[in-house]
A and B are shown apart, each in its own frame.
Chain A
Amino acid sequence: MNNQFFKNQTFKGFSKEISMRFAFVFLILCSFQMNAENSKLLQSQEVSVYAENSTLSQVFEQIESQTTLRFFL
């Protein structure tokens, strides 16, 4: 942390700086939380799969066609 930066700074500037840092950390952690919620939601959508002697990739294709989800490795 560049403490020199703070030294001659006004209190107003200082509070802005803390708020930004705090907001940054908070946002990151919020995004983890949001992703968890989102993933729960996506997992609960209903799909239909018909796979007789198919391959795994065909199952993925069917799921992709019914949802906005895409498979990645």
Chain B
Amino acid sequence: MKVKRLSDFFYSAEEVDVNQPINATYKNVKLSEVLDAVLSPQNLTYSILKNQIILKKKSPKQVMQTSSKTSFQKRVIEGTVTTESGSPLPGVNVLVENTDSGAMTDFDGNYSIEVDADSKVLVFSYVGFKTKPVKIGDQTRIDVSLKEDVQLLDQVVLIGYGQQKREDVTGSVSSVETDDIVQAAAGQVGFDRALGGLVKGVQVSQNSGRPGAPIRLNIRGVTSPLSSGLGGGGLNQPLYVIDGVPFNTEGISGSNPLLTINPNDIKSFDVLKDAAATSIYGSRGANGVIIIETKKGKRNQKTQTNLSYTTTFARPINTVDVLDAQGYKDYYDLLLSNSVGAINSGKLDPFFAFDLQNLGNVDLDFSTLTATYNGLNENYFGDANTDWNDEVFRSVAISNQVNFGINGGTENTNYSLNLSHVNQEGVAVNDRFEQYNIGMSLNTDLSDKFNFGATVNLGHTKAKSGEETILGQYNINTMVVRARPDLPIRDDNGNLLPQEDFSNGFPTFEPNPLMRLGNDDVDKSYNFIGNGFLEYEPIDRLKLKAEVNSAVFYNDQSTFVPKSAQADMVFVPTTSFLSEANSLVSNVTTNLTANYSFRFDKHRFTTLIGAAWDYTKTDTKSQFYSGFPDDDYLTNPTSAENLLSYIGNKAETGLNSLFSRVTYSYDSKYNATFNFRTDKSSKFGSLNSRAYFPSVSTSWNIAREDFLESNDNINDLKLRASLGRVGSTNVANFAYIQFLNTSASDIYNGETAVVPSDIFPNEDIGWETTDEINLGLDFGFLNSRLRGTIDVYNRKTEGALVTTPIPQELGPSIYYSNFIDVSNKGVELSLGGDIIQTDDFNWSVNANWAVNRNKLDKFNGAAVNQFQLDYFVEGEPVGTIKGYKVKRIIQSQDEINDLNAASPTGTYDQPTTGVGDYLFEDTNGDGRITSDDRTVIGDVEPDFFGGFSTNLNYKNWNLSAIFQYSVGAEALWDGIPKGVFNTLGENKYAEYANNTWTPDNPDARFAQAVYFDPSSNSRVSDRYMYETSFLRFRSLQLGYTFAPNVLKDLGVTQATLTLSGNNLATWTKWPGVDPETFSERSSITSQTNNEDAYPLSKSFSVGVQLNF
């Protein structure tokens, strides 16, 4: 017989000698046993594919393993032991149950064990992993993956300049499961978008769904509501420490700098919340600290390669609900009829009839100044029925994401390299986002005493958009709301068709939404986050470390606004604009630390002292040009007619710090941590440049006490208490000295002049300090199957910086001072449970709930401007909504006549207020409606918020779901009051148009629609305010992990297929696009208005993860 070659693909070069002599006699024996016995001595192995047995030469390694003699009384079982993620596990004990015979896995996780024919079970055990018994049966190859035995108590938590066992932690620190981040980030870019609902007490708002846009993340409330320094409008973002590199995201323009880190590369994610935990970061800890460490290779680990690929299909989560062509005409029929009625009742100036004539057959009788209305002017209205949502949003936006990683280690060195690429289409046409990331790490023992390590994370993003941010045109949803549905998209020649409307009565050619999306906005960022260190251990347990950390964020933005994207006012010629801006924020921090730990008896100490020098440089430049010859080609700066403005700013700031920490533990029962840090900042004058940030925290491990030690049901019970002080330097640079500046607009005697800056220097400004008390309880019952944490805190911030207007006579208009006092009190709770735990089936549930009560304690006379005063009211949370309360809509003239008669001025509200208008509540009881009647009608702080998740595992299947909720916050639905003015021709929200007052609809939510809003019904009132409560089904993921042996021949140690859906459903009463998004401007005050920002996407992703 001749053994055929299957094909060159499977064929291995060595010939197999099939004519070798052999002696073997077997009767009714399993084929596998026969083949093993016959082939093994020939150094052959086989695999079965369909009905073909494919012979192969054994690799030298396999030869070694199976060198032992094979017989039928004894047989050899081989296999590989891996972790769940497919990494080979060396040193695993493989034991035949109830015997002493065993083996151990080699460096590659392979083992080979000789067992008696009647042996039934092999037991695999390894420290840190759950022991796994496997039935032998007929198998000759048993591949096993061991599950990590994560005991909550043994987890390590990063605490800033070091780490601690979770058991010893005394401050309030929450950790996030990296699997959850990866899951929730599927189909999106940026790990921060994935955090919503995952961490207790961390409020995550995705203010915009634009690819690459930053999000708003807040830990335990706002401490500095108006810290307008560094471009942050009181955002109070936490300090991020990524691989030891600290940086703030506020003030960094363009794309989100956090995109530099790929969610798949995150190894650990810890959130330091209370002042005791964050005070080691002193002046930057006031808004919490998020410590992230990326994945590094492990020592003594064979090189592992992983590859994952995800394709995502996305659509907008929701679109604005607007009138169709018929509804649009019906609305204008009603509006014209109402407006003519208003002319005739004296409410509306008769000469507005000329405006109305553009849309309807309106005749004005000049003798009586009354008008008549005889239906719509059919010439004005088109007969198309265009759904602009279908035009501006893609039916499906596709993104592809590839991640590739290599990591491993030898005895002295470990390394990793991670590459990733994302190519994402925005849900809006013309939007596209690309991202490239590289992460590298190396750690090596130079000698017994020296250890060296470095981490580099590089990121490049490029975002293209059809919207622009320089002129502040309508955002995409507002474009759609205003666009006329009765007109076609293009004219007969295929050109996009502008839309005629009548702004203030003048005919205006509005670009249709697709024309508006013709801007060319390109935002590129180049980011670097990296560090390097050298550690020296001169004597045992004393570690001296020198470390240099650097974060560099460079952003380059170019926006061209063509004429065709702007409203053509007929009388005012339009021009095109170009804005070019770039900014560089670079930060270098040098740390020198010494760490020493020692113990005697049951006393355990660790001490840390360190010094840090932090140097930040910012350099921003921008130029603004106008007047380009055409919209398509000559759009570079040299083609511009005018240079409208140019700005350049450079600043260098520094922070010198000394810090120390002592942790003490007695018998692991009583723990205490003392932190002390002092910072000196160049941002403040010599009087206040230095500040001190001490903290103390203690914990009592009750479960370790004798009376509970023997109790199997309670395995963790820990009380924590802490007290500490932190600060914030997140303020404008050098507000204590006088700046001089010059700009094109500062002209003296026809020449450009140098003038003092608008900000009056205040030498007395100093640190914002936040003091916080935190009490906490950690518990774990029934072998940690039920576990949780409760934290209660009270934090007070004194002297938050604010700019305050000063009398104009002085010249400058504002100055900085430490005026504002704010407090935050709250409770946070997280609970987790493993409800079902069997070998094949696991079901766990986690939930968290948080409540924060923010209060603006004192304004201390800070005279912020009138506009801001609506958002900041003493005794109320920051971000209040002030407005009128509507009692009802006036149904009869008598109602208003009576009120007018009772008013001291003879008019209760507007002279025109009458039937169909709002009856505002006279809250101060003075008989008339003035701006003093505006009261706080809502605020942006939720009553409570959080999330819950569930995870089901059945054999190789995994199903997990994440939900996020927020209850009790309010916002104004911005588009409605803006539309109440009723610019003739623009389309309307269906919610508004179908819900205005008419005699037939007396219980309508909105006042009667009348052109030009003569009775000022657009004044901010509770009729335009809605609750932004929501429950969101953030993520659902179904995963299937293939058995390790399935793809072994391809060299794949693990293969997982995942199907995930993001933002699958949102339950809310919010009538706009989304209660979570609010504005791209994203300051605290913009959160009070939800302007139907760029929608988040609802997406489905298919992903494959392979480990080699």
- The reply to whether B1042 and A29 form a contact with Cβ atoms under 8 Å apart is yes
8 shortest A-B CB distances, which residue pairs?
A43-B32, A39-B48, A57-B18, A72-B6, A57-B1, A46-B28, A14-B396, A55-B19
- The reply to whether A56 and B18 form a contact with Cβ atoms under 8 Å apart is yes
CB within 8 Å of A: which B1055-1105 residues: 1055, 1057, 1059, 1100, 1102, 1104
Contact segment of B49-57, B316-324, B817-825: B49-57
Measured between beta carbons, the chain B residues less than 8 angstroms from A39 are: 47-49
Measured between beta carbons, the chain A residues less than 8 angstroms from B30 are: 43-47
Report B657 CB to chain A, min CB distance, Å: 50
CB within 8 Å of A: which B1-45 residues: 1-6, 10-12, 16-32, 34-35, 38, 42
Report B34 CB to chain A, min CB distance, Å: 6
Report how far A69 CA is from B48 CA in the complex, Å: 9
- The reply to whether B50 and A35 form a contact with Cβ atoms under 8 Å apart is yes
- The reply to whether A45 and B31 form a contact with Cβ atoms under 8 Å apart is yes
- The reply to whether B1104 and A55 form a contact with Cβ atoms under 8 Å apart is no
* Interface size, B (range): 35 or more
- The reply to whether B1046 and A61 form a contact with Cβ atoms under 8 Å apart is no
Measured between beta carbons, the chain A residues less than 8 angstroms from B18 are: 55-57, 60
- The reply to whether B1046 and A32 form a contact with Cβ atoms under 8 Å apart is yes
Measured between beta carbons, the chain B residues less than 8 angstroms from A8 are: 395
B425 touches A (CB below 8 Å)? yes
Q: 13 other contacts beyond A3-B425, A14-B395, A47-B28, with CB at 8 A cut-off? A: A32-B1042, A35-B50, A39-B48, A39-B49, A47-B26, A47-B30, A51-B22, A63-B31, A71-B53, A72-B10, A72-B52, A72-B55, A73-B6
B64 touches A (CB below 8 Å)? no
Can you identify 29 A-B contacts, CB atoms within 8 angstroms? A6-B395, A7-B395, A10-B395, A14-B313, A14-B396, A22-B1059, A35-B49, A35-B50, A42-B51, A44-B31, A46-B29, A47-B29, A47-B30, A48-B26, A49-B26, A51-B25, A52-B25, A53-B23, A55-B21, A56-B18, A57-B19, A58-B22, A60-B18, A70-B4, A71-B53, A72-B10, A73-B10, A73-B12, A73-B16
- The reply to whether A72 and B53 form a contact with Cβ atoms under 8 Å apart is yes
Measured between beta carbons, the chain A residues less than 8 angstroms from B1104 are: 25
Measured between beta carbons, the chain B residues less than 8 angstroms from A52 are: 23, 25
Report A16 CB to chain B, min CB distance, Å: 12
Report how far A54 CA is from B22 CA in the complex, Å: 5
Residues of chain A at the chain B interface (Cβ within 8 Å): 1, 3, 6-11, 14, 18, 21-22, 25-26, 29, 32-33, 35-36, 38-39, 42-61, 63, 67-73
In-complex Cβ contact of B34 among A14, A47, A53 (8 A)? A47
Report how far A43 CA is from B34 CA in the complex, Å: 9
Measured between beta carbons, the chain A residues less than 8 angstroms from B25 are: 49-52
Report A15 CB to chain B, min CB distance, Å: 9
Which residue of A is nearest B1050, CB measured?
A: A32
Report B401 CB to chain A, min CB distance, Å: 12
Measured between beta carbons, the chain B residues less than 8 angstroms from A63 are: 31, 34-35
Which residue of A is nearest B1059, CB measured?
A: A22
Report how far A32 CA is from B50 CA in the complex, Å: 11
Report how far A42 CA is from B53 CA in the complex, Å: 10
In-complex Cβ contact of A70 among B20, B35, B52 (8 A)? B52
In-complex Cβ contact of A49 among B2, B34, B315, B1057 (8 A)? B34
Measured between beta carbons, the chain B residues less than 8 angstroms from A68 are: 51
B1047 touches A (CB below 8 Å)? yes
Report how far A22 CA is from B4 CA in the complex, Å: 36
- The reply to whether B50 and A1 form a contact with Cβ atoms under 8 Å apart is no
B697 touches A (CB below 8 Å)? no
- The reply to whether B29 and A72 form a contact with Cβ atoms under 8 Å apart is no
Which residue of A is nearest B137, CB measured?
A: A44
Report how far A73 CA is from B44 CA in the complex, Å: 11
Measured between beta carbons, the chain B residues less than 8 angstroms from A22 are: 1059, 1102
Measured between beta carbons, the chain A residues less than 8 angstroms from B53 are: 69-72
- The reply to whether A72 and B3 form a contact with Cβ atoms under 8 Å apart is yes
**Contact mask B284-320 → A, CB, 8 Å, 1/0?**
0000000000000000000000000001010100000
Report how far A9 CA is from B395 CA in the complex, Å: 7
- The reply to whether B4 and A72 form a contact with Cβ atoms under 8 Å apart is yes
Report how far A61 CA is from B12 CA in the complex, Å: 22
- The reply to whether A57 and B1102 form a contact with Cβ atoms under 8 Å apart is no
Report how far A71 CA is from B34 CA in the complex, Å: 14
- The reply to whether A49 and B4 form a contact with Cβ atoms under 8 Å apart is no
Report how far A17 CA is from B642 CA in the complex, Å: 50
Report how far A33 CA is from B1044 CA in the complex, Å: 10
Which residue of A is nearest B42, CB measured?
A: A56
- The reply to whether A6 and B29 form a contact with Cβ atoms under 8 Å apart is no
Report how far A67 CA is from B718 CA in the complex, Å: 65
A9, A45, A60, most chain B CB atoms within 10 A? A60
B398 touches A (CB below 8 Å)? yes
**Contact mask B426-456 → A, CB, 8 Å, 1/0?**
0000000000000000000000000000000
Report how far A68 CA is from B3 CA in the complex, Å: 15
Report how far A32 CA is from B12 CA in the complex, Å: 21
- The reply to whether B1102 and A25 form a contact with Cβ atoms under 8 Å apart is yes
In-complex Cβ contact of A6 among B2, B396, B1059 (8 A)? B396
Question: Known: A25-B1104, A42-B48, A46-B29. Is A73-B1057 also a contact (CB below 8 A)?
Answer: no
B688 touches A (CB below 8 Å)? no
Report how far A13 CA is from B20 CA in the complex, Å: 60
Measured between beta carbons, the chain B residues less than 8 angstroms from A1 are: 311, 398, 400
Report how far A8 CA is from B34 CA in the complex, Å: 60
